[in-house]
């Protein structure tokens, strides 16, 4: 089991899709271990998007993510960072596969509804940035045996 950081962005919150997205995550078999609604400070936005500093879209990205309430989530599940990226879809919503969050719910690149950590390492860094350890709950789902099947220690 791994954890990842997702952020429901200001467009997602403003369009009333908090429930829709959390429902998709829960139905897939992922667990919400932490969740809150906050306004993002300039400092947190800059730390979170440090890898994009200097790119042409950086300033507008920071302006957007600090423009309204967001809902950061810590999500747990088997290979959670990778599985969540698959569920989220391609960065540009207009090009994202149908069935993905971005493919089903958006058209924009900047207003693409949701952030998901892009690797196990990013997930670890981003979770520490957005949540205190005491804000993160323990595993609680009781359907593990229906979601996962192993043979010789490997998932099948
Ligand atoms: P992702 O969110 O799929 O990991 P990313 O890390 O490459 O995408 O970029 C971070 C965010 O920046 C992305 O969700 C939307 C915005 N963005 C990326 N490329 C952009 C571009 N060419 N023009 C405008 N915004 C862009
Ligand atoms: Mg990214």
At residue 106, the pLDDT reads 98
Protein residue with least CA distance to atom 23, ligand 1? 57
- Supply the DSSP symbol for 41: P
Could you list the active site residues?
Answer: 115
**To test ligand 1's pocket by mutation, which of 4, 10, 61, 111 has the most ligand atoms within 8 angstroms of CB?**
61
Overall average pLDDT of the 124-139 stretch: 97
Q: Which helix (H) or strand (E) holds 120?
A: helix 120-130
**To test ligand 1's pocket by mutation, which of 107, 110, 117 has the most ligand atoms within 8 angstroms of CB?**
110
Query: Residue 140 — pLDDT band, cuts 50, 70, 90?
Result: confident
Give CA–CA dist 71/35, Å, rounded. 7
| Cβ-count burial 22-52 (b if 16+ within 10 Å, e if not) | bebbeeeebbbbbbeeeebeeebbbebbeee
Question: pLDDT tens digits, residue range 35-77?
Answer: 999 999 999 999 999 999 999 999 999 999 999 999 999 999 9
- Are the C-beta atoms of residues 111 and 92 closer than 8 Å to each other? no
Question: pLDDT tens digits, residue range 106-125?
Answer: 999 999 999 999 999 999 99
Q: Record the pTM.
A: 0.97
């Amino acid at each position: 089991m791994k954890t990842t950081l997702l952020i429901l962005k200001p467009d997602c919150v403003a369009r009333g899709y908090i429930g829709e997205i959390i429902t998709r995550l829960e139905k897939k078999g992922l667990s919400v271990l932490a969740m809150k609604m906050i306004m993002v400070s300039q400092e947190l936005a800059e730390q979170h998007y440090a890898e994009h500093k200097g790119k042409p879209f950086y300033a507008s990205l920071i302006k957007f993510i600090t423009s309204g309430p967001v809902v950061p989530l810590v999500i747990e599940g088997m290979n959670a960072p990778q599985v969540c990226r698959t569920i989220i879809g391609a960065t540009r919503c207009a090009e994202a596969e149908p069935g993905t969050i971005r493919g089903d719910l958006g058209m924009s690149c900047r207003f693409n509804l949701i952030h998901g950590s892009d690797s196990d390492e990013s997930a670890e860094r981003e979770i520490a940035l957005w949540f205190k350890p005491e804000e993160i709950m323990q595993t609680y789902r009781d359907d593990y045996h229906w979601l996962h099947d192993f043979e010789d220690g490997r998932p099948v």
